[in-house]
Amino acid sequence: MENMQLAAGLAGEMVAHAVKWVSEGAAGPFLAYLCKGDTRVTLVDLVQGGAESPLDYGRGLMIVRSAARAVIVYDGTISNDEGGHYDALIGEVYEFEHGDGAFDVMVPYRPRSESQSFGVYGLILEDQDSEPVEEEILDAFLEGTRRDAEAGEFLRQHQLQ
What DSSP string describes 41-81? -EEEE---SSSS-HHHHHHHHHHHTTEEEEEEEEEEEEE-T
Asked if the model's pLDDT at residue 49 lies above 80, the reply is no
pLDDT at 76: 93
pLDDT at 155: 92
CA-based radius of gyration for the chain: 15
Asked if the model's pLDDT at residue 1 lies above 70, the reply is no
Mean pLDDT value across residues 107-133: 93
Q: How far, CA to CA in Å, does 128 sit from each of 12, 92, 134?
A: 18, 10, 12
Give the single-character DSSP code of 139: H
Mean pLDDT value across residues 116-127: 93
Mean pLDDT value across residues 131-160: 94
Asked if the model's pLDDT at residue 88 lies above 80, the reply is yes
Asked if the model's pLDDT at residue 81 lies above 90, the reply is no
Helix axes 135-145, 149-157, angle to 10 degrees: 110
Look at 38 and 15; give whichever has higher pLDDT: 15
Mean pLDDT of the chain: 91
Mean pLDDT value across residues 63-76: 93
Asked if the model's pLDDT at residue 27 lies above 80, the reply is no
The CA distance from 70 to 124, in Å, is: 18
Give the percent of the chain with pLDDT over 90.
72
Please tell me the pTM assigned to this model.
0.91
pLDDT at 52: 84
pLDDT at 29: 92
Mean pLDDT value across residues 69-84: 91
**pLDDT grade for 82, boundaries at 50, 70 and 90:** confident
